[in-house]
Amino acid sequence: MENRYRSGEHGFESSAEGLADKVETLFNQQLETWALAKKNYQSLRQVEIRRIRFPEMEYQIQFNPSRLVSAQAKVDTKSIRERTCFLCQEHLPQEQKGIYVGKGIYGLKQDYQLLINPFPIFRKHLTIPSVVHVKQSIEGRIGDMLGLARQLPAFTLFYNGPECGASAPDHMHFQAGCKDEMPFERAWTGMRKQILCQKNDTFLYAINESINQVLVFKGKDKDWIIDRFERMLKYALDLPVSAGKSEPMMNLLCEYTDTEWTLSVFLRQRHRPIQYFEEGDNNRMISPGAVDLGGIIITPLNKDFRHTDKNQLEDILHQVIIDVSEFNELSTKLGETNYE
């Protein structure tokens, strides 16, 4: 059933101008009037961080108790069916206001609203749900992600696939956090990479490092990025790791700087590592999504924040990131599109 957005109930219509300014106003308004959000954004200022360095990049372990709900989210079909959807308009907390961005504005193909995330990882953290209750899927929406990134140049947008990080797999949503805070955003340019295909100054790179098998699109040509991304989806769905799936398991980061987009694709083979399900000392409440693979590892529990060491982190990342041989198979297929 569709839940149509009713304008005026939980926010205001947005025109094509000044989305970034409207977001500033929304943050100020919400932090004044919404006690839960205010408390959680204040706590984030004292957030503790530990750093673990690998040759290719540094990971920041963030101790963030407010993320416990998300890390513990039950995302199986039965649990999802039995809970009320927290991204649907009619279930938003009374204090929560949003900015509506509709079809046609910024070239968007679908309707969304911008909300502040009351359980932040970033000093500014947005949730951008679809106005209608439709399942989490990137199909037909990568252009919307690029369009929104362009309008929010202070942010990096991210997307968690329905089976690898989204705590509402039944309700389509993007998120956004302050740009350049995830270590990967700066580190990737120094990593070992190969150009798979290009059109003029827009490129698709494959990064193949010890713990980073990532595809990165970079450049000005939005239509080309959309075209190659959609092919990537199709090819990745043919990989053994995607058997029985409606969408390849993946997380996305997307930002726009100096007239160029950067869109990073982290393909996955697993959502939660075995440590997540272990009992006793071996247990780690680490449930990786886009932000974790971007280099900010969220630990809602103090024991995990203190005790996760470099070997464990490496093991966890290897378990969840796509297998190298499948990544190479996909890269080869995408490389062949360069001659078209």
Residue numbers of the site for Zn ion (CB under 5 A)? 85, 87-88, 133, 171
Least separation, in Å, of the C-beta of 90 and Zn ion? 9
Q: Which amino acid is at 183?
A: P
Least separation, in Å, of the C-beta of 141 and Zn ion? 16
Give 133 or 150: the residue with its C-beta nearer to Zn ion.
133
Least separation, in Å, of the C-beta of 131 and Zn ion? 10
DSSP state of 273: -
3-state DSSP: the chain helix, strand, coil percent, rounded to 5? 35, 25, 40
Least separation, in Å, of the C-beta of 133 and Zn ion? 4
**What are the structure tokens assigned to 82, written together?**
């039995």
CA torsion 200-264-334-250 (nearest 10°) is -160
Instruction: Output the CA–CA distances (angstroms, integers) from residue 88 to 54, 96, 171, 250, in the order listed.
Output: 40, 12, 8, 24
Q: Which amino acid is at 3?
A: N
Over the Cα atoms of the chain, what is R_g?
19
Give 92 or 225: the residue with its C-beta nearer to Zn ion.
92
Give 68 or 88: the residue with its C-beta nearer to Zn ion.
88
Residue 53's H or E segment, with its range, is strand 48-53
Least separation, in Å, of the C-beta of 88 and Zn ion? 3
Cα separation, 30 vs 134, whole angstroms: 26
Which residue's beta carbon is nearest to the bound Zn ion? 85
Give 141 or 150: the residue with its C-beta nearer to Zn ion.
141
Give 125 or 133: the residue with its C-beta nearer to Zn ion.
133
Helix orientation angle between 19-33 and 35-45, rounded to the nearest 10 degrees: 100
Give 47 or 132: the residue with its C-beta nearer to Zn ion.
132
Least separation, in Å, of the C-beta of 241 and Zn ion? 28
